[in-house]
């Protein structure tokens, strides 16, 4: 990875093929910036709900919580994944992103749809029609991504994970439209809760977690300067996660959730195999821990806690009430998925800015900045420090129905979001300077 300010001319010539196939910088960057805005919106709204006592016990407001969840899942997580997939196409599949104009149109539809959908949830409106632009955006993104995959010479290990995750995205989007259409009226669904269980797990495990697993094998290895010797644990994880997820979804949709404990055990074993694979990557690393790798470790710990909560709900060790379910969803979103995204984005965004702004126009004796100079590392460490306890305070707050714990979690998360925006602004200044 480029990081030297004194390299000889032509030292970065290897980036030319990548840049020739990579989309313009603003294609992935608009996704990352929109995702950052959604993350900050979620943090502010979560603080509003926590300090307003809207999220615990008898005062729990379901539609407000549902709006929070979709701000995070659609605006923060899915928007980030779409941006990452736009940028990863030339890396993973050695081909240019197909239908770039469709992706740009999809971004606008997605932004409009998210704002309308969440807004209607929070204002007690009918949220079916605002979900239609979201579905239309999914169609355009899938059109681009599937055509890009089809033009690839071959799908590598990461690519296969992403292909599967995209397939789950199709199914969960259809289930989501059914829920949005029928949820308020109950005209079609005899058991909307079972459909919701399938939808949630197809989203958070099938679409998001599978994508994270696949991307982590490439990015964590690259960022830690580690070489993966054996993929056997990862292959076991891929099989177990898919078997557990499909079993859980089918059981929820058609068999009344009779075998949830079995699927929970299979999914937990799949995560264990994945964690062991990541441990091998870290064991072979040739780089000291930095904030990005520390975030990854934090995410792995969060994933383990999420597996324990899932087993506890499946086996009845925790009451299957709204507070325990909220703790479960909060854990997977904030303790597992979000720290992983934060860690990778703190590497991806500076690298993309460095590549597009500096690698093409550098000529001696001008000083080429190091990639790490595009961020303020102390600020990232501060962000990590205030973020780390936040998910666990929130999980404890939901389980104990404690507004005080939820308030503490929300305050720390809001501070972390502000620091994240500040660090993103530090990086984006290099684009502004280049343009000016």
Do the Cβ atoms of 77 and 208 come closer than 8 Å? yes
Whether 27 contacts 90, CB under 8 Å? no
Could you count the other beta carbons within 10 Å of the beta carbon of residue 275? 17
Q: What is the mean pLDDT of residues 390-416?
A: 97
Q: How far is CA 141 from the centre of its chain?
A: 16
15 in a domain, yes or no? no
How far apart, in whole angstroms, are the C-alpha atoms of residue 216 and residue 339?
12
Cα gap 161→155, rounded to integer Å? 9
Instruction: Please provide the average confidence, as pLDDT, over all residues in the chain.
Output: 86
Residue 125 has pLDDT above 80, yes or no: no
Q: Of 435, 393, 400, 431, nearest to 414 (Cα)?
A: 393
Region 217-234 average pLDDT: 76
Instruction: Indicate whether 291 belongs to any domain.
Output: yes
Looking up tokens 């615990």 gives 56
**33 occurs within a structural domain:** yes
Q: According to the model, what pLDDT value does residue 434 have? A: 59
**Residue 87 placed within a domain:** yes
In a domain, 6, yes or no: no
257 versus 22: the higher-pLDDT residue is 257
Residue 355: its pLDDT value, please? 82
Find the range with the poorest average confidence among 188-192, 252-256, 345-349, 387-391.
Answer: 188-192
**8 has pLDDT over 70:** no
Q: What's the full length of the chain, in residues? A: 436
Confidence of residue 237 (pLDDT cuts 50, 70, 90): very high
Peptide bond before residue 257 is cis, with ω within 30 degrees of 0: no
- Long-range pairs, 392-398, Cβ under 8 A, ≥24: 392/305, 392/335, 394/327, 394/330, 394/334, 395/305, 395/309, 395/327, 395/330, 395/331, 395/335, 397/50, 397/56, 398/55, 398/56, 398/323, 398/324, 398/326, 398/327, 398/330
Asked whether residue 53 is domain-assigned, the answer is: yes
User: What does DSSP assign to residue 31?
Assistant: H
Number of domains in the chain: 1
Shortest CA distance to 77 belongs to which of 287, 368, 344, 435?
A: 344
pTM over 0.85: yes
Distance CA 132, CA 70 (A): 15
pLDDT of residue 226: 64
The pLDDT value given to residue 1: 37
Calpha distance 195→139 (Å, rounded): 22
Q: Are 145 and 85 in contact (CB under 8 A)?
A: yes
CATH of the domain at 220: 1.20.210.10
Strands, E assignment, 252-391? none
What mean pLDDT is predicted for residues 44-69? Answer: 89
Tens of pLDDT along 169-218?
999 888 888 887 776 555 556 677 888 899 999 999 999 999 999 988 88
Residue labelled with tokens 């009430």: 321
Query: Is 430 inside a domain boundary?
Result: yes
Report the pLDDT averaged over residues 321-337: 94
Is 388 within 8 Å of 298 (Cβ atoms)?
yes
What pLDDT, on a 0 to 100 scale, did the predictor assign at position 295? 95
In this predicted structure, which of 104-108, 126-130, 211-215 has the lowest mean pLDDT? 126-130
**Could you tell me the pLDDT band of residue 361, with boundaries at 50, 70 and 90?**
low
DSSP state of 54: -
Instruction: Give percent of the chain above pLDDT 70.
Output: 88
The pLDDT of residue 188 is 58
Residue 128 located in a structural domain: yes
Task: Please report, in angstroms and rounded to a whole number, the separation of the first and last CA atoms in the chain.
Answer: 27
Say how far residue 212 (Cα) sits from the centre of its chain: 7
Q: Which two tokens stand for residue 214?
A: 């696949």
Determine the structural domain holding residue 193 and report its residue range. 25-435
């Amino acid at each position: 990875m480029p990081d030297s300010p004194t390299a000889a001319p032509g030292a970065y010539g290897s980036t030319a093929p990548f840049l020739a196939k990579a989309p313009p910088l603003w294609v992935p960057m608009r996704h990352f910036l929109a995702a950052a805005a959604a993350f900050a919106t979620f943090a502010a709204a979560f603080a509003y709900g926590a300090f307003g006592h809207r999220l615990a016990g008898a005062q729990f407001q379901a539609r407000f919580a549902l709006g929070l969840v979709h701000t995070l899942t659609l605006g923060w997580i899915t928007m980030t994944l779409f941006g990452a997939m736009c940028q990863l196409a030339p890396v993973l599949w050695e081909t240019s992103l197909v239908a770039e104009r469709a992706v740009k149109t999809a971004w606008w539809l997605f932004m409009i749809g998210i704002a309308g959908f969440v807004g209607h949830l929070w204002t007690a409106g009918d949220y079916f029609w605002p979900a239609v632009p979201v579905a239309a955006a999914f169609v355009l993104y899938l059109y681009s991504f599937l055509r890009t995959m089809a033009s690839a010479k071959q799908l590598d290990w990461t690519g296969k994970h992403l292909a599967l995750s995209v397939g789950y995205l199709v199914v969960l989007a259809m289930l989501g439209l059914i829920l949005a259409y029928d949820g308020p009226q109950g005209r079609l669904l005899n058991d909307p809760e079972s459909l919701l269980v399938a939808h949630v797990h197809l989203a958070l495990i099938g679409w998001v977690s599978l994508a994270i697993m696949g991307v982590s094998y490439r990015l964590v290895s690259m960022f830690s300067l580690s070489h993966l010797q054996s993929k056997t644990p990862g292959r076991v994880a891929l099989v177990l996660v898919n078997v557990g997820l499909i079993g859980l979804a089918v059981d929820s949709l058609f068999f009344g959730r009779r075998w949830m404990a079995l699927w929970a055990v299979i999914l937990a074993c799949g995560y264990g195999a994945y964690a062991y694979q990541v441990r091998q990557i870290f064991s072979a690393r040739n780089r000291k821990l930095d904030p990005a790798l520390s975030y990854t470790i934090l995410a792995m710990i969060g994933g383990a806690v999420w597996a324990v909560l899932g087993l506890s709900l499946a086996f009845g060790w925790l009451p299957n009430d709204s507070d325990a379910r909220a703790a479960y969803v909060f854990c997977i979103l904030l303790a597992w998925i979000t720290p992983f995204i934060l860690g990778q984005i703190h590497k991806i965004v500076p690298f993309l800015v460095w590549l597009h702004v500096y690698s093409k126009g550098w000529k001696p004796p001008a000083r080429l900045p190091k990639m790490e100079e595009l961020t303020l590392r102390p600020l990232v460490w501060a962000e990590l420090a205030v973020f780390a306890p936040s998910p666990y305070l929130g999980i404890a707050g939901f389980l104990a129905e404690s507004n005080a714990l939820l308030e503490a979690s929300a305050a720390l998360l809001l501070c972390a979001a502000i620091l994240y925006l500040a660090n993103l602004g530090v990086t984006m200044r290099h684009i502004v300077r280049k343009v000016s």
